[in-house]
Amino acid sequence: MTEQMTIGIDVGGTNMRAALLDERAAVRQRVSTETLAAEGFDAVMQRCAGLVTALLTNANATNADWPIGIGVPGPLSHKTGVVLNAPNLPGWKNAPVRDRLAALTERIVVVENDANAAAYGEFVAGAGEKSGDMVMLTLGTGIGGGVILNGELIRGHFDNAGEIGHMVVEPAGRECPCGQRGCLERYASAAAIADRVREALAGGEQSSLSNATELDSGAVQAAAAAGDALASRIWSDACRYLAIACVNLQHILNPRTVVLAGGLINAGEALLDGVAKEFRRLTWKMADDAPAIRLAQLAGDAGVIGAALLARKFAGGTPVQSAQDFPSL
């Protein structure tokens, strides 16, 4: 196989996956495994190296020197490839991801924040295709984000740009593990939606969810759709807070597209319509510059695609900055 390929890895707190991308940004191979984060940093790096070996073996290319892009939770330093602190990965403080994985695999490694990597994947090959300027919100246990302006991923001076989940939407609001109060992710993440319902039930409010065997954001959305008052209020609150974030992003960054990603988008149109309705109500009427709000398209592939494309870009290959370069994508 003579084609220049790139490897992408996406490390999560529970699972991690890897993929092999060809020159047209198409996924050729996929592998995955449990992260087993409790075993520590080096054990996780060893498993990452094992995923790389599996991809190369499956592709009959064990001697290929293809670069690796790896998306990991932050905050981190893109410049040094060091994770400063990853709360869901025990022992990952000042963790030298780039240098350790490079030593294990004997190849170039580019380290990126996992939300940034997923945003770049959606920008090139998913919901942000042909946008030029795009912001993505990843709605899961927390809320991550990624910002792409003029085709370039924005990291900021301290490599922490795009932490949209820690945008303050409710001054003096709910405490956040980050040390702030009123962060977006304490009101509109999948975990926060379920937590707020549990707190209301514990406070004596009545709901069809009182006897739910599994109380998660999906159950809350389903109950809201069925007319449950408590679930409807919490779900509507989440959509409103996401709309507030979108309005702020509209005025600060003026992107063409805002993409919603993560587990919460399993609600589909219930989420998209709820956010869009609140956005139209809240946004200004002075100019017609509202971004298109869309659901992500790449699902679990976004992170590995973005990581691989960023590795290609920063490892010296021909950068892929827009799917316009590849009309067949």
Identify whether residues 146 and 289 lie together within a single domain.
yes
Identify whether residues 145 and 255 lie together within a single domain.
yes
pLDDT for 177 equals 87
Distance of CA 111 to the CA centre of its chain: 15
Residue 205 located in a structural domain: yes
Burial letters 100-139, b for 16+ CB under 10 A, else e: bbbebbebbbbbbbbbbbbbbbbbbbbbbbebbbbbbbbb
258 contacts 290 by C-beta, under 8 angstroms: no
Cα distances (Å, whole numbers) of residue 41 to 14, 88, 91: 14, 12, 6
Identify whether residues 40 and 100 lie together within a single domain.
yes
Q: How many residues can be counted in the chain?
A: 329
Show the tokens assigned to 114: 């996992």
Residue 267 located in a structural domain: yes
CATH (domain of 43): 3.30.420.40
Identify whether residues 304 and 293 lie together within a single domain.
no
Identify whether residues 91 and 135 lie together within a single domain.
no
Identify whether residues 136 and 253 lie together within a single domain.
yes
pLDDT for 74 equals 80
Q: Across the 329 residues of the chain, what is the mean pLDDT of every consecutive 10-residue run?
A: 84 93 91 95 97 95 91 90 88 96 96 94 89 92 93 90 95 93 97 97 96 93 97 98 98 96 95 98 96 94 95 67 37
Identify whether residues 214 and 136 lie together within a single domain.
yes
Residue 1 located in a structural domain: no
74 contacts 34 by C-beta, under 8 angstroms: no
Identify the helix (H) or strand (E) that includes residue 148: strand 143-149
Identify whether residues 312 and 292 lie together within a single domain.
no
Q: How many domains would you assign to the chain?
A: 2
Identify whether residues 62 and 25 lie together within a single domain.
yes
pLDDT for 316 equals 59
Residue 168 located in a structural domain: yes
Residue 126 located in a structural domain: no
Domain encompassing residue 203: 131-297
Burial letters 163-172, b for 16+ CB under 10 A, else e: bbbbbebeee
Identify whether residues 177 and 258 lie together within a single domain.
yes
Identify whether residues 44 and 158 lie together within a single domain.
no
CA distance 106 to 2: 19
Question: What are residue 154's phi and psi, to 5 degrees?
Answer: -95, 120
Residue 171 located in a structural domain: yes
Residue 282 located in a structural domain: yes
Residue 109 located in a structural domain: yes
145 contacts 129 by C-beta, under 8 angstroms: no
CA distance 262 to 69: 20
pLDDT for 3 equals 77
pLDDT for 1 equals 46
Identify whether residues 193 and 64 lie together within a single domain.
no
